[in-house]
Each structure stands twice: as C-alpha cells, then as structure tokens.
Amino acid sequence: MSKRPFIKRRARIFLGCEGESEQSYGAFLQRLADDSGAMVHIVAVNLRPAGDPLALAEKAKKAFAAEEKKGRFSGKAILLDSDRLNEPADRGARAQHLLAQEEFITIWQRPDHEGLLLRHFPGHEHDDPPRGISMDALKALWPEYHKNMPASDLKKRLTLLDVRRAAGTNLPLRQLLDCIGIV
C-alpha cells in the first residue's frame, strides 16, 4: 500500500483592496512570496468603489467573513488611501476603530497608492507628496507606470528589496510582509 505524499497547506492571507491597483499589488506580493518559497495564498479582494473609508472598512469586514467560510486565514490586512481619511469628518476615525476592532493590519497609503509605490524607490523611502502630486512624482521615476498596472508589470520594475525598502518606513506594510513570510 503506497502512501500519498504529504502536501503542506498554504496559509491564507486576506487582503482588502481599495481598488484594482491595490488588487494588482496583492497579486504582485503573491508572486514575490512564491519566488521566495513562502507557503501562502493571498486572497486579494477588491472592495470597490473606492472612497469613503468607513464604507470600505465595513465591506472588508463582510468580505472577510464571506471568504473565511472557504477556509481559515492566518492574517488579514487592508490597503486604504489616507487622502480620504477625514472626508467626511468622523467616518475616518470610525473606520480606524472598526478595523482595529476586527484586527486588520491597516496600511494607510500616503496619500494614495502611487504615494506608497513611490516609497519603493531608493532615496524616496521618506517622500510624502501632497494629494494630487504622487502620480507625477512616481512617473518621474517610472514613466511607464499607469493606474491598474498588472502584477506582471509591477514585477518587471519592482523587487522584493524594493518592497522591503518601503516597509522600512511603514510598520503596517512590514507587518503584512511578516505575515506573508517575506520580511
């Protein structure tokens, strides 16, 4: 009687995404995890439409509960733009409270996803462009960049070292990388 080989299960990580760009970033992180041998599966869920942080936090809570019915998660995180944190006034604070209560790793992208990507580049780890400027700052370093860029194109330009660089100035991003196993 032959024994079936033991196949190690991948740890599941939930990643709530404000939009398609963040969802592609989640797929990019999955590729980095695969390349490094980390046994994880990142479930990147698009919470669209983007905007109101409290509505996105509530959607993340519901999406996590729905996805967890398919199998347990070893971690959960969410990528949100900080430029909408105070619009409308108390909804950002309520979103932060809900996400903390639900134990999400909350990565506030300053001011948006392009601002987060900018900090992946050497010498730009501490850049903090104001709202409306991050795309221009990023395109100055990466002229081919465009919104909703697929993970394969992100991987052509960014490396694990770049992601670790950005995580060096962003504790929640570092916590996510640690959860994935690629710190």
Q: What are the residue boundaries of the structural domains of the chain, listed by start? A: 11-180
Q: And the tokens for 18?
A: 């404000």
| pTM of the predicted model as reported, rounded to 2 decimal places | 0.93
> Tens-digit pLDDT profile for the chain (183 aa)?
567 776 678 999 999 999 999 999 999 999 999 999 999 999 999 998 867 899 999 999 999 999 999 999 999 999 999 988 877 678 889 999 999 999 999 999 999 999 999 999 999 999 999 988 999 999 999 999 999 999 999 999 999 999 999 999 999 999 999 999 998
pLDDT, residue 6, reads 67
SS3 122: coil
- Of the candidates 18, 61, 20, 17, the one whose C-alpha atom is nearest the C-alpha of residue 43 is 17
CATH class of the region 11-180: alpha beta
Structure-token pair, residue 2: 């032959």
